[in-house]
């Protein structure tokens, strides 16, 4: 029966990526401004991010979880304040220290109050940068708080997780990046170890890890190779000067470079949508096997399919197997 199924998969041209993507029913997101698709903007309507910020996103276009949903052929994770499955808030921390938005611990609380995790949902978690920015110096405390949230989801029935580590540099402010340089190595190491323990000690739980740290390093090492001409200055110059206070109705940030897609930074802290696309590709690669692995499996499956078809035809036609 298994061989017949493989025959059908190959014959109809269904790729292994599609098969993997179809294992998920949807995406539920917890995090900070890197993943927020409008929660903070919806809650504080008087401080909605003006254009050319993209409709409540802290960037100039879709953020990485939206690109990922498209790649997996899943519904886009709209802001939870608008009835969607994205609970991420700009300014949110892991919960280890008060943040400027709803922290991940509270986001998970809100989700679990009204939902029971489905075993086919993909739960996306990314946070920790704001903990460092706002004064948390003990990375283990932030990791413990993040893992507490992930474990509560797992205990409630969540089975599939996608979790990202952190880069050591975010934005243009040297003082904040100096803090990250100390905070991030310990955070990433402890987070990876804790996630490995969770997967090893929890039946049916799968954890996919996104190496944002390596992606950032690779981009900085070879900007042109990723299509960037600038990795140090914001594409939206006026955005980096905004103090967050209320702006006049209809205000638009006008001082924007003509080629923002070639800039790593959109404003003084947040990456451009072009970077979000790259993060989503790294996330997708963490979920779906590498092409080389896929090809190897495909050849193996094809061999089984051929054998299956030959055996099936022989039985159907009543042809006895030849003997030496």
162 in Cβ contact with 210 (< 8 Å): yes
210 in Cβ contact with 163 (< 8 Å): yes
H or E segment at 163? Answer: strand 160-164
Q: Is the dihedral angle over the CA atoms 65, 71, 72, 76 positive or is it negative?
A: positive
Looking only at the bridges linking them, the beta strands covering 230-234 and 121-126 are unpaired
Q: What is the mean pLDDT of residues 167-177?
A: 96
39 in Cβ contact with 87 (< 8 Å): yes
DSSP SS3 for 234:
strand
Q: What is the mean pLDDT of the chain?
A: 86
pLDDT score of 307 more than 90: no
- pLDDT tens digits, 216-265: 999 999 999 999 999 999 999 988 777 667 777 778 888 999 999 999 99
Whole-number Å distance between alpha carbons of 270 and 122: 24
Query: What pLDDT was estimated at residue 99?
Result: 87
Listed range (45-49, 95-99, 105-109, 186-190) with the worst mean pLDDT: 45-49
pLDDT score of 318 more than 90: no
- pLDDT tens digits, 119-131: 999 999 999 999 9
Q: What is the mean pLDDT of residues 299-310?
A: 45
Query: What pLDDT was estimated at residue 69?
Result: 98
26 in Cβ contact with 74 (< 8 Å): yes
Query: What pLDDT was estimated at residue 45?
Result: 60
Tokens representing residue 229 in the block: 């001409």
Go through the domains of the chain in sequence order and give each one's CATH number: 26-288 (3.40.50.1110)
pLDDT score of 113 more than 50: yes
40 in Cβ contact with 130 (< 8 Å): no
Q: What is the mean pLDDT of residues 179-194?
A: 98
């Amino acid at each position: 029966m298994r061989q017949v199924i493989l025959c059908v998969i190959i014959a109809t041209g269904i790729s292994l990526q599609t098969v993997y993507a179809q294992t998920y029913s949807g995406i539920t997101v917890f995090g900070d401004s890197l993943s927020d698709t409008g929660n903070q903007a919806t809650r504080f309507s008087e401080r909605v991010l003006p254009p050319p910020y993209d409709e409540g996103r802290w960037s100039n276009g879709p953020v990485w979880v939206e690109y990922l949903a498209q790649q997996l052929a899943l519904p886009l994770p709209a802001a939870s304040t608008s009835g969607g499955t994205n609970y991420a808030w700009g300014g949110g921390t892991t919960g280890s220290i008060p943040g400027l938005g709803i922290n991940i611990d509270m986001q998970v609380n809100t989700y679990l109050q009204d939902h029971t995790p489905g075993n086919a949902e993909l739960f996306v978690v990314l946070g920790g940068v704001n903990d460092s920015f706002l004064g948390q110096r003990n990375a283990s405390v932030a990791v413990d708080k993040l893992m507490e949230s992930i474990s509560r989801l797992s205990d409630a029935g969540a089975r599939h997780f996608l979790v990202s580590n952190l880069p050591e540099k975010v934005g243009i402010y040297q003082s904040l990046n100096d803090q990250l340089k100390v905070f991030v190595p310990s955070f990433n190491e402890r987070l990876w170890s804790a996630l490995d323990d969770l997967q090893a000690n929890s039946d049916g739980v799968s954890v996919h890890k996104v190496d944002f740290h390596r992606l950032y390093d690779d981009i900085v090492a070879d900007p042109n190779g990723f299509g960037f001409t600038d990795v140090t200055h914001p594409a939206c110059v006026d955005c980096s000067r905004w103090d967050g206070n209320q702006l006049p109705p209809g205000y638009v940030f006008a001082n924007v470079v003509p080629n923002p897609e070639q800039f790593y930074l959109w404003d003084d802290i947040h990456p451009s949508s072009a970077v979000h696309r790259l993060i989503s590709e790294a996330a997708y690669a963490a979920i779906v096997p590498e092409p080389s692995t896929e090809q190897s499996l495909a050849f193996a499956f094809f061999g089984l399919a051929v054998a299956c078809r030959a055996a099936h035809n022989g039985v159907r036609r009543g042809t006895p197997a030849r003997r030496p």
